[in-house]
Amino acid sequence: MSAIARLRTAAASAGARPASAALRPAPYRRRYFTGLLIFIAVALLAEFLYGTASDTQHLVNLWLVYTIAIVGFYFVFGLGGRFAFCQTLMMAVGGYTTAYFSVHIGFWPALVLGVGVTAVLAAILAILTIRVQAFYFAIATLAASQIGIEILRNWSGFAGANGVQVDIDTPTWFGTELIDERSFFWVILGVVVLVLLLAILVERSPLRRNAVAARERELAAESSGVHAKRLQIGLFVFGSALGAVAGALLAGWEATLSPDTFSIDLAIAIFVGVIIGGVGSMWGAVVGAAFVVFLPEVLTGLEQYQTIIYGAILLGGVVFLPRGIAGIGNDLRGLVLTRLGIGGREEEAREADAAVPREPEPAAEAARETGTPLFDPRAAAAAEPPGEPLLDARDIVVQFGGLRAVDGVSLTVRRPGEILGVVGPNGSGKSTFLNAISGVQPFAGSVTVRGRPIHSGRRTKARAAGLSRGFQTAQNFSDLTCLDNVLVGAADRSMTGFLAAWLARVPMWRRERVRWREAQAALHRVGLVGVEDLPARSLTYGQHRLLELARCLAGRPEVLVLDEPSAGLNDAETDLLADLIEQLASEGLSILLVEHKIDFVNRLCQRILVIDAGKPIAEGTPSEVWNHPRVAAAFLGSAVSHA
Amino acid sequence: MSEFLGLCASGIALAAVLTLVALGLVLLYKATNVVSFAQGDLMTAGAYVAFWLTAQEHIAIVPAYLLTLLILFAVGVAMERIAYAPLRRASPIAVVLGTLGVALAIRSALGIWQGTTPKNLSSPVGDGSVNIFGAAVTDQRLLVIGVTAVIVLVLGYVFNSTRYGRQLRALAADREAAQLMGIRVNGLATIAFGASAALAALAGVLVAPLGAIDLNLGFNMMITAFAVAVLAGFGSIGGIVVSAILVGLVQQVLGNYVLQDYSDVLPFGLMLIVIIIRPRGLFTAMQGSRV
């Protein structure tokens, strides 16, 4: 454990109110604007040292314009995880719309209009296609681009003959006509800084962690309450709007537009820009933009090799540098810090090791240590009028083609704090049943949590209704820190959108502090201490289970659904887990437990439901069901009776 | 009427070429779960290699064509080694990007090798044509249709009645289970990459005499073949053939009478509509997915 972490833990366990700095998740801790200032300095140096002739000035401006487009694409592809092929179309729509209206209403109002039109178009495209994944989304957007560019080519009334638009109003800035490269530099730099500012505020907001979670594991993110598709549509629209800004600036600055500008080659350059910079950070996109603009200059006389280099970069990038140049930068930084003995990879690993064996804490203790009145399901339960069952699943049927995987299973949990076991042979439909009642798998029948319905196939609804679930293999978000992992499941989901990030930072910040404390408390609750800042990928298998559990608890569920939580744990870990589950139940949390380990089930469950071949065959206390003849037959095969 | 029949004939010839490209895409997808953006440039490469062997090295047509398929099979195998084997554990997006990288590398290598001026590959069956109900259909188009029909039958047999076909279907149905049952997934992947590249090369060789060979020959054809594969839901051979004919006729007939300016992008429109309305394709039953 590092000295800082040790101090922090010491302070926390001494009951001191933890300093907010120590509780801040990593994204909020670093200074906001260092990167921006460095960028401005580099841009100024480039302009005044390198951009001394009009052709080099031109390149610097091009770099700035591409930066906007590629940062936009970073939000679509890097953060949103959407393999889109239409950033060039968005640039074109922004550019042509701005060009068309600029002669009527002036350049800057036309730019705003162009960005707005593009955003609407992007929203429509995204809403129509967001449900298809990876490759399908790529070709859907590729098809849309090809069609869009073809329309621009043919629609001479709007885009000029053959799509070549030369009738573009020269932009002015407070009465000065912008004609030379230098004056354009200042204007474009201003726009870039504004754009980067908006981007930084999104990067330093809860939106980022939710987006990373949705990108990495959509199912787990949605089950934790993240509206993955809505979020990705938002990122797509934002990124496309930035593309439109770039296209509009291109129109005003070049004073001419041609469909050939927005060819597949530009699309590939944008991909190369994002890949070379690394999809992990928006600053990678800035570096990547510089690369695609200046590479052809470096290769003077060798232009024919440019495409082959792009190809090698795309391939080499994904094979050797999955995290891009920015990733190498981080690795180097980690290496240097490790040498100096302050953090870094090895330190992370040691911290993770040191954090393992720790008893889970009861709610009261965790609350005291983290200075937070923890989620208390009992309080919630007491506040509700009795009568409505906690969890009520009626006649659940799940059909796969001709196969009924779950065939009319019902169950009810009435008492807060009850642990209900669901057991059955392999393939009996237990997991499918869980998937159905947690809204993952479309089903027929009805599920309510305290009368609040969970709709078929609506994942986020289940969590909103008060049901959290763990997965058969723990589903954590390996690119996020442990604290961020828990925060993804936070019960309070207000102030996590774009508008909060841009316009309501103070209220957002306040909500975040409450959420941080609760997440901290949830980590203490499951016995994971000192790992807050470690990336989830550095955890051991057993710790992954606990982290997922902490994320579930952060949603303040009334019903917790666990799918074989002890799978893959050793005996000591299994015992710790059983203790934890018992404690949680004793505090009033109802638990639905699917398990294979019979001892584990018998120890924890007051009541067991046995499923075989999708149908319920017995229900009762452990001794009742295990003596039931149909249960014996289901588990051991009917041959046993002849033996 | 004869104009209409002529358009239908070119539509079906186009469908035949698209069938070959789409078969390559789907074969690869079934064996490896990869949708390759390199398929189009492999097709271009096939056309260039055939041009090199026949026009520059003066090898007789049949051995030259066979040699072309062999060379492209080898390119496909190499691609598996370079761009797929190291990425087995990577995300699907990384693999697709990798194939895009291969596509760019192939295209620019071809440009460096053969220059950027378009080339002409002469037809092995001459420039004659056959009169079918008053519509003149070139011999090359008939050859394209005939060869594709043979390939479809052969692949149908391989897929349904041989060991490789069974393994492939098992892989496509349930990757993990197939692996556990002892199917050598890696070996199959290598063969699939090779065979898929050879199919692309065949399409390139057959389509080249109908126009000129340039560096974008295959890429544009590939996007149209994506449309075919999507319509067919990356599914059965029959579905691919029907989808290809649909796309070919839409592009040639509809594109000629109604939307002249947009004939090239009509298949993309069709594809977009199918992705939006029925992403599993026109010919596949809706299935539940497991978690």
Q: Mean pLDDT of all residues in chain A?
A: 84
Residue A444 near chain B (CB below 8 Å)? no
> Which of A131, A318, A440 should one mutate to test binding to chain B, selecting the residue with the greatest count of B CBs within 10 A?
A318
Query: Is A91 in contact with A243 (CB distance < 8 Å)?
Result: yes
Query: Is B200 in contact with B43 (CB distance < 8 Å)?
Result: yes
Q: Based on the number of CB atoms within 10 Å of its own CB, is B253 exposed (0-12), middle (13-18) or buried (19 or more)?
A: middle
Chain A residue numbers with beta carbons less than 8 Å from the beta carbon of B229 are none
Q: How confident is the model at residue A414 (pLDDT cuts 50, 70, 90)?
A: confident
Q: State both tokens at B37.
A: 């953006």
Coil, helix or strand at residue A545: helix
Mean pLDDT value across residues A594-623: 90
- CA-based nearest residue to A323, from A359, A278, A362: A278
Q: How confident is the model at residue A458 (pLDDT cuts 50, 70, 90)?
A: confident
Chain B residue numbers with beta carbons less than 8 Å from the beta carbon of A275 are 97
User: What is the per-residue pLDDT across B29-84, written as a single tens digit (0 to 9) for each?
Assistant: 988 888 999 999 999 999 999 999 999 999 998 999 999 999 999 999 999 998 88
From B274's Cα to the closest Cα of chain A, the distance in A is 10
| pLDDT reported for residue A362 | 63
Q: What are the two backbone dihedrals, phi and then psi, of residue A386, each rounded to the nearest 5 degrees? A: -70, 170
Is the pLDDT reported for residue A350 higher than 60?
Answer: no
Residue A124 near chain B (CB below 8 Å)? no
From A146's Cα to the closest Cα of chain B, the distance in A is 7
Coil, helix or strand at residue B119: strand
Q: How confident is the model at residue B5 (pLDDT cuts 50, 70, 90)?
A: confident
Cα–Cα distance for residue pair A333/A318, rounded to 1 Å = 21
Cα–Cα distance for residue pair B63/B214, rounded to 1 Å = 23
| pLDDT reported for residue A440 | 87
User: What is the per-residue pLDDT across A44-96, written as a single tens digit (0 to 9) for each?
Assistant: 999 999 988 888 999 999 999 999 999 999 999 989 989 899 999 999 999 99
**Strand runs labelled E in A365-466:** 391-400, 403-413, 419-423, 444-449, 452-453
Is the pLDDT reported for residue B248 higher than 90?
Answer: yes
Determine the Cα angle at A27 with ends A25 and A31, to 5°: 120
| pLDDT reported for residue A3 | 45
Q: How confident is the model at residue A376 (pLDDT cuts 50, 70, 90)?
A: low
For the entire predicted model, the pTM comes to 0.89
* Nearest residue of chain B to residue A148 (CA atoms): B265
Cα–Cα distance for residue pair B288/B283, rounded to 1 Å = 16
The DSSP call for residue B213 is B
- Sign of torsion over alpha carbons A323, A324, A326, A328: positive
* Nearest residue of chain A to residue B82 (CA atoms): A315
Is the pLDDT reported for residue B247 higher than 90?
Answer: yes
Considering chain A, what percentage of its residues have pLDDT values greater than 70? 84
Q: How far is CA A325 from the centre of its chain?
A: 22
Tell me what ipTM this predicted complex has.
Answer: 0.89
Chain B residue numbers with beta carbons less than 8 Å from the beta carbon of A268 are 100, 104
A17 vs A113, residue with greater confidence: A113
Q: CA gyration radius for chain B?
A: 19
Is the pLDDT reported for residue B97 higher than 50?
Answer: yes
Is the pLDDT reported for residue A2 higher than 50?
Answer: no
| pLDDT reported for residue A310 | 86
| pLDDT reported for residue B238 | 92
Q: Based on the number of CB atoms within 10 Å of its own CB, is A480 exposed (0-12), middle (13-18) or buried (19 or more)?
A: buried
Q: How confident is the model at residue A416 (pLDDT cuts 50, 70, 90)?
A: confident
Q: How confident is the model at residue A354 (pLDDT cuts 50, 70, 90)?
A: very low
Number of helices and strands in chain B (H, E):
12, 2
Candidate from A40-49, A66-75, A369-378, B269-278 with smallest mean pLDDT: A369-378
Query: Is B38 in contact with B100 (CB distance < 8 Å)?
Result: yes
| pLDDT reported for residue B173 | 81
| pLDDT reported for residue A628 | 87
| pLDDT reported for residue A97 | 96
DSSP-derived pairing of the beta strands A419-423 and A590-594: parallel
Coil, helix or strand at residue A35: helix
Q: How confident is the model at residue A16 (pLDDT cuts 50, 70, 90)?
A: very low
Mean pLDDT value across residues A434-441: 88
Q: How confident is the model at residue B272 (pLDDT cuts 50, 70, 90)?
A: very high
Q: Mean pLDDT of all residues in chain B?
A: 88
User: What is the per-residue pLDDT across A156-184, written as a single tens digit (0 to 9) for each?
Assistant: 889 888 888 887 888 887 777 877 888 88
Cβ pairs A/B, distance under 8 A: 139
Contact between chains at B101 and A311 (C-beta distance less than 8 A): yes
Residues 6+ apart with CB under 8 A from A96: A114, A152, A158, A159, A165, A247, A251, A257
- Buried b / exposed e over B200-225, threshold 16 CB at 10 Å, is bbbbbbbbbbbeebbbebbbebbbbb
Query: Is A501 in contact with A207 (CB distance < 8 Å)?
Result: yes
User: Out of B104, B219, B290, whose CB is closest to A314?
Assistant: B104
A 258-317 residues with CB below 8 A of B? 264, 268, 271, 275, 304-308, 310-317
Query: Is A196 in contact with A44 (CB distance < 8 Å)?
Result: no
